[in-house]
Amino acid sequence: MGSGRNARLFWPILVAIVAVDVSTKAVAEKQLAIQRIPHEVLGDWLRFTLVYNPGAAFGLHVGQHSRWVFMGLTVAALLILGRLYFSTREGDRTRVMSLALVCGGAIGNLIDRIRHPRGVVDFLDVGFGDARWPTFNVADMAVSTGAFLLAIVLWSEDQPDQAPSAGFVSRELQHESGDAT
């Protein structure tokens, strides 16, 4: 179940992601104030550019009610992730960590959707020249990393064991103990 050792890993990661996300967005809003004006950090490769995203990842937008739709979808996703957390075996660190990353990032962006009618605060702008990745934030990085890890974990859980057949194992044990005929 999702308690004990799992909770000692899950909650600090989740709280850290939310805290870093909320604080970096507050600094971005204060320091960058004007939207869509890039500020070079590492040349053209990394810039800080304040934008508000009313949609989802990569600017996916579903009309005037996007804010409410994505708030609802986030809450539904958090409920599903909660079920995954509570069904996690004690000590399954990778699964717990991936769930904490996704949940922390989802909560960080949900806070923005609740707080800002304009949308989620994004400010990390990566690319070269006009070839740029969509602007993102710490929550987005946590969700992406956690989702990737969770996909690997869930995929590996669905794979059949690669252990040798029982017949092979029993013959090996018999041979080692001198019982082989």
Instruction: Give the 3-state secondary structure of residue 113.
Output: helix
> What is the C-alpha separation between 138 and 173, in angstroms, rounded?
53
Of residues 122, 125, 130, 158, which has the active-site annotation? 122
Assess whether 140 carries a catalytic annotation.
yes
- Mean pLDDT is lowest, of 61-70, 118-127, 160-169, for 160-169
Dist. CA 146–CA 154, nearest whole Å:
12
Mean pLDDT is lowest, of 1-10, 65-74, 145-154, 162-171, for: 162-171
Q: How confident is residue 164, by pLDDT bands cut at 50, 70 and 90?
A: very low
Residue from 92, 140, 158, 161 carrying the catalytic annotation = 140
Q: What percent of the chain shows pLDDT beyond 90?
A: 72
Q: What is the pTM of this model?
A: 0.83
Q: How much is the pLDDT for 161?
A: 66
CA atoms in the 13 A half-sphere facing the CB of 93: 0
On the 0-12 / 13-18 / 19+ scale of CB atoms within 10 A, 92 is middle
**Residue 174: Cβ within 10 Å count:** 12
pLDDT digits (tens, 9 = 90+) for 16-30: 999 999 999 999 999
Task: Look at residues 97, 110, 95 and name the one whose alpha carbon lies nearest to residue 140.
Answer: 110
Q: Please report the pLDDT score of residue 67 as a whole number.
A: 85
The yes-or-no answer on residue 158 being catalytic is no
pLDDT in tens, 24-72: 999 999 999 899 999 999 999 999 999 999 877 666 666 677 888 899 9
